[in-house]
A and B are shown apart, each in its own frame.
Chain A
Amino acid sequence: MGKIIGIDLGTTNSCMAVMEGGSPTVIANAEGNRTTPSVVAETKNKEKLVGQLSKRQAVMNPENTIFSIKRLIGRSFSEKDVQEEIKTLPYKVEKADGGVKP
């Protein structure tokens, strides 16, 4: 039987857990940490990175490192707060159908 995984998607860090014997158990990531930075990146070689690895290369590749995206999820592109936010973000945010597309 497939397992259901629960993800707490945080603005800065995320945490994953599975139900086991009726109670949730946090599972560690590949690096052995119980939380994973909520960061994804695409390197110049088009390689996709997730979590800690993306964070490590963030200074070299600010345009293609997406972080703090939770602050924008579900908000309208035209909102004043969103527009203010975009000014401070190194990655490009584009308008999508009614929503936001970084």
Chain B
Amino acid sequence: MVKKQKTINKKQEENLELENLMKERSELTNLVKRTQADFVNFKNRIEQEKKDWIKFGEGSVIIELLGVLDNFGSAARHVPEDIKDNDWVTGIKNIEKQFEEIVFSKGLVRIDAVGKEFDPNFHEAIFSEESDEPEGTVLEVFSEGYIYDDKVLRPAKVKVAKGKE
């Protein structure tokens, strides 16, 4: 009788252990599946990022060069009247043109703004002013915006027409 009881207890213990092991197994299986999915996602993302990085690398260099381009532009706008036609000044302007040609040949595109309807995808409104133009029209560009590899590298900073009160 006692022996029989012991056997039953042992059986119950074994069952419990089996149940625990089964539970643990399913937990581990889930974890493996999840980790595997994570890994596949990770691999795909790294692949994509690798491609992006190359473009991003070029983009980040170009973005820094934009500052130089801006300064060339503002310098050209403020050439003193008396030396406007000086050969040296023309030379400097040609350097600006050469510089522009290089960055544009890399796939940089200037954002059209003046006269266009304001689009937050490409333009950043600095302020709005009453005007005869229809509401939302870009009136003036303060700093040019650029697109590179279908991404806006820098939005154009603009003044926008406001409806008359």
Contacts and interface: CB of A to CB of B under 8 A. Distances in A.
B56 A60 contact: no
Interface stretch (A7-15, A50-58, A76-84, A89-97): A50-58
Contacts of B136: 44, 60
A51 to B, nearest CB: 10
Contact of B124 (A20, A21, A56): A56
A57 B128 CA distance: 10
A31 B120 contact: no
B128 A54 contact: no
Contacts of B152: 31
Interface string A11-25: 000000000110000
Main secondary structure of the interface of B (DSSP, over half): mixed
B21 to A, nearest CB: 24
Contact of B155 (A21, A32, A56): A56
A56 B125 contact: yes
Interface residues of B, number: 25
Contacts of A53: 120-121
A32 B35 CA distance: 26
A59 B125 contact: yes
Given A31-B151, A32-B56, A54-B120, A59 B126 contact: yes
Interface of B: 34-35, 37-39, 41-42, 52, 56, 118, 120-121, 123-128, 135-136, 151-152, 155, 160, 162
Contact of B118 (A32, A49, A57): A57
Contacts, number: 41
B158 to A, nearest CB: 10
Interface residues on A, range: 10 to 19
Contact of A59 (B42, B52, B56, B128): B128
Contacts of A49: 120
27 contacts: A1-B34, A1-B37, A20-B38, A21-B38, A21-B42, A31-B151, A32-B56, A32-B151, A43-B120, A44-B135, A49-B120, A53-B121, A54-B120, A56-B120, A56-B123, A56-B155, A57-B125, A58-B125, A59-B125, A59-B126, A59-B127, A59-B128, A60-B118, A60-B125, A60-B136, A60-B160, A60-B162
